[in-house]
Structure 1
Amino acid sequence: MSLPERITVTLLWIIGTITFAVLYAPAAIVILLSFVGVKDRKLDWSDLSLQWYGKFASNSQLIDALSNSLIVGVCAVVIASTISVGLAYYMKTGARAGRSYVEFVIFLPFVLPAIITGISLLIAFRQVGIERSLITVTAGHVVLILAVIYRMVTIRLDALENSQIEASLDLGANSWETFVHVVFPQLRSALLTSSLLAFALSFDETLVTFFLVGGETTLPMRLWAMMRTGFTPEINALVSVVLCVTLLFAALAAMSLRESIERKS
């Protein structure tokens, strides 16, 4: 390796290190502060303990908000996944005449500013007499994340050869059996990856939730309300728990995707 190449590689490593430090140092600091207290603007290592995790576990408002976010996220992902797979499979095997219109309807709320989507959904629910609640929040999240799941499922289905579906039907399988035994196994990795991404988008969605939430609040809305009075150290414990769980799911998704690629190769 020549001297200019070594200098280039070294600079790239330096830039990469700085970039990763800027991205992940705040998260590392939050995790550290969930165990160690701060006194006179300095870390108080004598205060090293799990007390803030205990206080977080006993904070009913934060636990309820976290539970609501999890419920909304899971329900939104399940509903959006079902709709996405059904529509994508129909477009793959059925009439394609309305595909452009369907995709326009699905992708439009995702590309519009969130404030426009939120206000539009609020007006629509008011017109039909539906009060704001976690149900309306879930519906709003479904509208937002539908495009993500549908796009990834469609890409995977477009890569599936029609001959496989036709062969299954010719051998006597009905449409449902063909979907379960031929199509769905090839969709699982894409569906898992898109579902995790969609859940992450739903979990931290704030603006659309602001217009649709009722008496029960989600975690982002609770944290936004707490900004007025300041965060307590137990928020560090909350963020640490959410971050660790997120990294765990991301690792599981990466392993699942890797196994799927290895099986195909």
Structure 2
Amino acid sequence: MTARPSTIFLAAVTALVAVLLYSPLFVPIVSSFFTVAHGEVVWSSPTVAAYVSLAGNKEILTALRATLIVGACTVLLSVGGGTLLALYYHGRRSGRGALQFIIFLPFLMPPIISGLALLIFFREVGLERSLLTVVIGHTVFVLAIVYRTVLTRLQSLSRSLVEASYDLGATGWQTFWRVLMPNLSSAMAGGAILAFALSFDETMITILVTGTQSTLPVRLWAMMRLGFSPDINALVALILIFTVLLCVLAARVLIPKQVATAAH
């Protein structure tokens, strides 16, 4: 069967867009293994010197450690808070419209506005800028993603499951732990992955609320003025690999097993 010209054209456009989008990602990966001299890659001398140099760069490793700490704390707070807020909203209680407005407003506003609002708030309450304020800022920002992910899964569940649990004599806690939690676990895990990815990448809010300890994006932002050393290429390569693995994991967690089975 001969492909139609329109199909060939769309395939060519898709391939061109993919090349334009993803080809720059391979530049730091190649640069981390090969020396670049006068704008040309010296293919004859592969080396891992950039990775060795990265292992000894205490400033970058400290910033990376701070980023991972902030990301882990943000995930714990956003998943816990987002799940509780989704359960409250799903219970058809009063104030749901105001709740949605409060949750989504920081996420929909420009990051610089959210960051400035948080900065003014921390100053008024006398809270010194530190990793704690960064965690609070990131949690406020990503809470909407986790909340919406969990709420969507919660609304897809049949109410008869909860009603049957109560009819069998289960308490509210037992119903949550044995009925709701197994069905919400994949949504919570997917929300956690998305929250960590957004927290890892967040720069504008972090710049405004951070103290003496810098996260990795802020550290790289500061290095742009003087230029990047070769070990940054190694760092970017490792982050790209980690991001790809995170995307694969998120896809496997977020896609229901029934859909994956039907696709095959």
Count of paired positions? 262
What residue is the counterpart of 1:199 in the other structure?
196
Matched, 1:223 2:220: yes
Q: Which amino acid aligns with 2:169?
A: G
Report % sequence identity. 44
Q: Equivalences for 1:80-119 in 2 at 5 Å?
A: 80-93=78-91, 95-119=92-116
- TM superposition score normalised by structure 2: 0.94
Which stretches of structure 1, 4 residues or more, deviate above 6 A after TM superposition? none
Q: Equivalences for 1:224-239 in 2 at 5 Å?
A: 224-239=221-236
What do you get for the CA RMSD once the two structures are aligned? 1.6
CA distance in 2, matches of 1:251, 1:147: 22
Cα drift, residue 264 of structure 1? 9.1
Q: Equivalences for 1:172-191 in 2 at 5 Å?
A: 172-191=169-188
Matched, 1:22 2:25: no
Q: Which amino acid aligns with 1:41?
A: G
Q: Equivalences for 1:134-149 in 2 at 5 Å?
A: 134-149=131-146
Residues 187 and 264 (structure 1), Cα distance of their counterparts in 2 relative to 1, 3 Å cut: farther
Residues 160 and 202 (structure 1), Cα distance of their counterparts in 2 relative to 1, 3 Å cut: same
CA distance in 2, matches of 1:143, 1:168: 34
Q: Which amino acid aligns with 2:224?
A: M
Matched, 1:171 2:171: no
Residues 263 and 170 (structure 1), Cα distance of their counterparts in 2 relative to 1, 3 Å cut: farther
CA distance in 1, matches of 2:10, 2:72: 40
What residue is the counterpart of 1:53 in the other structure?
51
Which runs of no fewer than 5 residues in structure 2 stay unpaired? none
- TM superposition score normalised by structure 1: 0.94
Which runs of no fewer than 5 residues in structure 1 stay unpaired? none
Cα drift, residue 97 of structure 1? 1.1
Matched, 1:241 2:241: no
CA distance in 2, matches of 1:34, 1:200: 23
Q: 2:67 aligns with which of 57, 69, 79?
A: 69
CA distance in 2, matches of 1:221, 1:126: 21
